[in-house]
Structure 1
């Protein structure tokens, strides 16, 4: 007799949206076929008694096999990055096909797709980083990329080699509204950072800790407010990425309360690191340099609160894998100043275990919030639902079986990226995804990888599915501006 399922996971605590089901998951043909008690056997059964069965994570902000604006290639390619992600319970990533000045969107997308196709072991989609919004890009290449399934793009308000001015940002926002794309914004005031950095270096303040001084929290808060203002002008949703400062959380919360269509994410480094980590002996602090930088304990609390009350809707790694040597963090060796250090920290593998340990098990968030922050909200925002992000009938069988009692002391030697260090070295956490399933394939078990290079699949994505407004206190409601109303054919009030 043929088995009813390819794989049956038994006796688990299964999180499906806002409910917990005690029972089994039946998988057939790479998809979830049944959820309930006492399901028929599969070709293989896994006993998950005492374990959580959660959706495989979606990391919608990570940098993989990408050349930075400073011309530095990250340490992880699509193989090492996706292996690392899988061991941490993540089954889908959305990294960036990065346009630089003078490069054409079709060329960089084609090159990036070839790299991913040959190496990825889990499923993946692409965002587009837009740095050259010239006529060809805006009239032909970008609309074609959006129609082809790259339904989100990232823009920078800082970095001289990447940033767009306000006029260009308005052009991009207008185009995104017309074509149904989501715009992700790195919001920092470029001139504030340049002005501070120049004066710090002139005074001999070159150590890593001065990176945090140059990237003052006001630079992030001001740019965030400006980005929201621009998005409101043309009535285009935006997502503020890697929110670090408490003042920025408040700017976003206030805008949401007024009905602005603004979303936001934050990352492990803003929950578990502070600016004090940059103030280590010698150049050790460079390991903790990212933009925006980690702030103080008050900002950590504000970011936690933002996750708890829904102001921040996704939790991503912003994995930026630069080695601690001349190929990455220290291009001029021990003479490298904070302004020359590659910006970014690794975090793909530890993203979910850190939040499970310090969020769920310490009572800051519940298991349903954990699933939303690490999987289902990503699927909704980035056009991957209903196939990804939830345990539901018909969805892809992307699952992680978590042992909530397993204690782990974090050491780089036990991780799977190619960076050479982890900023969370020595931290003890509780809870770990011991078995990981991607489209019905058991790809991680007993500390071993069981997935072939290139076995991940590319995911073309649809427009976001989130309903607006996200927050509506009292009678507040979103109001489109006169320009947006005119475009929609509406009359002025």
Structure 2
């Protein structure tokens, strides 16, 4: 068959099935066939996935996308993706009702499998005690409820109080350029929160997934916990593997395009630590964390320029996130990404 690439001898895990000793056929960056012993022309590139999990490919690829809660772009935050476009390119309210509403909005709009990452912004007794079984401000309450139900809690590990304090003092000194987004969230902000939530998870004896880890200190906390056989899992993203903070220094406000949280780090040693974490299994998930905002729209990245008294605007007004759908699996042998979605390739013996 006319494949550009064939990945052979892998175990393929989707949302519904598992195939062992299976091949994947890719054409023009899209998977077009899955099956045993796929025939391929001599010109097709072939990768043997057997026994090369750490050296050849990332263990898990997930597009973690932020889309608008409707079928048109979000006018307030100007999120550029709907369920249609986002999946194609890759208050006290009942949790149950919210999930049902989002399923209705997604119906007939999605080009791939999807799941919802539910943020419990107001964990009322009704939600914690009555609704949570069906689906922080009190982290231990959330962990305790999750433990009873066998749920893994996802955690964005940053200390919000420190960030708010740093942002306020940076603004007082007129340090508001997009690059100063990094100064508001130093490494210790992520590392402290990571260590703290690991301690709370150990106290509760419950698993957690620390998402979009960006720095070496937090990576070390995760690895140390894993070496003590705690059920602590990590996720990172391509921007932390390939970009450095200088990308936020670009002129003409271009640096706003690279603002995300946690932020892209300053030192290459953090980038190296992320790569090491991918290779040694500290990170079981590499996610796109896709969060598109229009750059030239006043409610997109340009929102950071709303304060006309400052030449560089205010970094804290700039919407977080950058596009990342389809940047998922990386082939280190050929130094490029394989643009597929939610697919796991492991050796048959795993």
Query: Retained in 1: the 8 A contact 2:22–2:35?
Result: no
- Spell out the pairing of 1:194-205 with structure 2 (5 A cutoff): 194-205=164-175
Q: Secondary structure at the match of 2:158?
A: coil
From 216, 237, 251, the counterpart of 2:207 = 237
Match in the other structure for 1:127: 117
Match in the other structure for 1:375: 343
Match in the other structure for 1:154: none
Report the Cα distance in structure 1 between the residues aligned to 2:179 and 2:97, rounded to whole angstroms: 38
Match in the other structure for 2:94: 104
Deviation, 1:344, is 0.7
Distance change (3 Å), C-alpha of 1:360 and 1:314: farther
Match in the other structure for 1:138: 128
Q: Secondary structure at the match of 1:16?
A: strand
Which moves more between the two structures, 119-128 or 325-334? 325-334
Distance change (3 Å), C-alpha of 1:211 and 1:24: closer
Distance change (3 Å), C-alpha of 1:243 and 1:11: closer
Deviation, 1:138, is 1.1
Report the Cα distance in structure 2 between the residues aligned to 1:11 and 1:301, rounded to whole angstroms: 28
Match in the other structure for 2:287: 316
- Normalising by structure 1, we get a TM-score of 0.57
From 342, 345, 351, the counterpart of 2:319 = 342
Report the Cα distance in structure 1 between the residues aligned to 2:211 and 2:4, rounded to whole angstroms: 38
Aligned residues: 316
Please identify the structure whose Cα radius of gyration is greater.
Answer: 1
Report the Cα distance in structure 2 between the residues aligned to 1:301 and 1:197, rounded to whole angstroms: 28
Distance change (3 Å), C-alpha of 1:271 and 1:33: closer
- Spell out the pairing of 1:379-458 with structure 2 (5 A cutoff): none
Match in the other structure for 1:452: none
Between structures 1 and 2, the one with greater strand share: 1
Distance change (3 Å), C-alpha of 1:114 and 1:73: farther
Match in the other structure for 1:306: 277
Distance change (3 Å), C-alpha of 1:218 and 1:110: same
Unaligned runs of 5+ residues in structure 2 are 13-18, 26-32, 50-56, 308-312
Match in the other structure for 1:14: 8
The yes-or-no answer on 1:326 pairing with 2:298 is: yes
The yes-or-no answer on 1:116 pairing with 2:106 is: yes
Report the Cα distance in structure 1 between the residues aligned to 2:9 and 2:88, rounded to whole angstroms: 24
Deviation, 1:330, is 2.4
Report the Cα distance in structure 2 between the residues aligned to 1:37 and 1:246, rounded to whole angstroms: 41
- Normalising by structure 2, we get a TM-score of 0.79
Q: Secondary structure at the match of 2:209?
A: strand
- Spell out the pairing of 1:175-186 with structure 2 (5 A cutoff): 175-186=145-156
Report the Cα distance in structure 2 between the residues aligned to 1:33 and 1:321, rounded to whole angstroms: 30
Any idea what the Cα deviations from partners look like across 1:137-166, whole Å, max 9, x if unmatched?
Answer: 112222112xxxxxxxxxxxxxxxxxx24x
From 51, 63, 66, the counterpart of 1:63 = 66
Deviation, 1:190, is 1.0
Query: Retained in 1: the 8 A contact 2:212–2:237?
Result: yes
Report the Cα distance in structure 1 between the residues aligned to 2:301 and 2:142, rounded to whole angstroms: 32
Unaligned runs of 5+ residues in structure 1 are 1-6, 26-31, 39-45, 86-100, 146-163, 377-388, 393-465, 467-493
Distance change (3 Å), C-alpha of 1:343 and 1:143: same
Match in the other structure for 1:83: 88
Query: Retained in 1: the 8 A contact 2:65–2:291?
Result: yes
Report the Cα distance in structure 1 between the residues aligned to 2:255 and 2:140, rounded to whole angstroms: 37
- Spell out the pairing of 1:358-373 with structure 2 (5 A cutoff): 359-362=332-335
Q: Secondary structure at the match of 1:339?
A: helix
Report the Cα distance in structure 1 between the residues aligned to 2:81 and 2:183, rounded to whole angstroms: 29
Match in the other structure for 1:462: none
Deviation, 1:73, is 4.7
Query: Retained in 2: the 8 A contact 1:10–1:23?
Result: no
Distance change (3 Å), C-alpha of 1:21 and 1:134: closer
Q: With CA pairs under 8 Å and 6+ residues apart, which has the higher RCO, 1 or 2?
A: 2
Deviation, 1:333, is 3.5
Any idea what the Cα deviations from partners look like across 1:297-325, whole Å, max 9, x if unmatched?
Answer: 11111000000111111110010111112
